[in-house]
Amino acid sequence: MTALEDSKIREQHAQIEGMIKDLDAHASKGGDRDKTTRMISILSRLLRAHCDNEEKVMMMKGYKYLPSHRDDHNRIFDTLGFIVQVCNDKNLDIDSKIGKNIEHLVSEHVEKYDNQMITFLEKVG
């Protein structure tokens, strides 16, 4: 992985982590629902761009676990899509633990998939 690709992926990870923290701080204290919805939408878009970037790098480097990694990205987006639907339906309540739940969803992926990918990319350069 080039230094630029590496720093881009790490920078995006840090940005995503920060946004999830902000979302949790807002939602856990029962903050304004529209703002919660906006924060989740922005986070989803950023995550999509980040995952697309990861998939591009994995494809370029011939990473053999790309299919399962991509499946797990899709699992995250299926779940986030469902969460956005709930947010947009004013008849449904948003769980105050939504930030924590998203944090769990993403950190599970980082531990199982991203760390393995980063180790591979550091080896192949």
Residues that bind Fe ion (CB under 5 A): 54, 114
Smallest distance from the beta carbon of 58 to Fe ion, in angstroms? 9
Residue among 6 and 31 whose Cβ is closer to Fe ion: 6
Smallest distance from the beta carbon of 83 to Fe ion, in angstroms? 18
Residue among 18 and 30 whose Cβ is closer to Fe ion: 18
Residue among 24 and 54 whose Cβ is closer to Fe ion: 54
Contact 63, 117 (CB under 8 A): yes
How deeply is 93 buried, as exposed, middle or buried, from its count of CB atoms within 10 A (0-12, 13-18, 19+)? Answer: exposed
Which of 109, 5, 113, 111 lies closest to 57, judged by CA? 5
CA-angle at 51, arms to 50 and 57, nearest 5°: 95
Contact 1, 114 (CB under 8 A): no
Residue among 24 and 114 whose Cβ is closer to Fe ion: 114
Smallest distance from the beta carbon of 114 to Fe ion, in angstroms? 5
Smallest distance from the beta carbon of 70 to Fe ion, in angstroms? 9
Contact 114, 12 (CB under 8 A): no
Rounded Cα gap, residues 82 and 79, in angstroms: 5
